[in-house]
Amino acid sequence: MAGHFEPIPGGGAAVALDDVEISILRSLAVQLMELIGPGDEPAADADPLAALFAEGPSEPPSDPALRRLFPDAYGDDSEELRSAASDFRRYTENDLRARKREDALVVVRALDSLSAEAAGEGGAVLKLTPDESRAWLGALNDLRLTIGTRLEVTDDEDGEQLYRLPDSDPRKPMVMAYLWLGALQESLVATLMG
């Protein structure tokens, strides 16, 4: 089980993680939440009906990683499509940000409970319910998209070249995280589909 997810009875998935992996995953999930930020959400005590009609941003984020996480719904080939994309973003981005933050928070909470259980043991087996597994899948995808954007990975060929980076390249730790997250994501997809 080390390094990849496997199915567990009743649905869900399990993976063995050592202390370093737990720490890296937690740190990346926290950084993802910080990157996503709070968005333009209404206050918790706001009118629930007004919250349904709250508008978010209409322009794409300036940060390339956030643009990758929150892409335009339509191409920007024409003024009409740009306007439609702006409207779509205005009514969906806040909810999408909230869901992505919640997925990352599920990861942090699961790892926090796991590290508390495994204190001093060097690692533990993380067991996820089906709902937690879906949240993890979303967070792993968001992490890979973010890191891939930072590494300027645009296609499979770019990804293949990452394997050949020399150890002296300053991007190497980020590349290793990107590839590891990809393997985790792939094994979780296979587990959930199996």
Planar angle of CA 14, 18, 20, nearest 5 degrees: 130
* CA–CA separation, 70 and 85 (whole Å): 11
Cβ-based neighbour number of residue 132 at 10 Å: 18
110: confidence class by pLDDT, cuts 50, 70, 90: very high
- Model confidence over 9-42: pLDDT tens digits? 988 999 999 989 999 999 999 999 999 987 555 5
pTM for this structure?
Answer: 0.86
- Model confidence over 171-183: pLDDT tens digits? 899 999 999 999 9
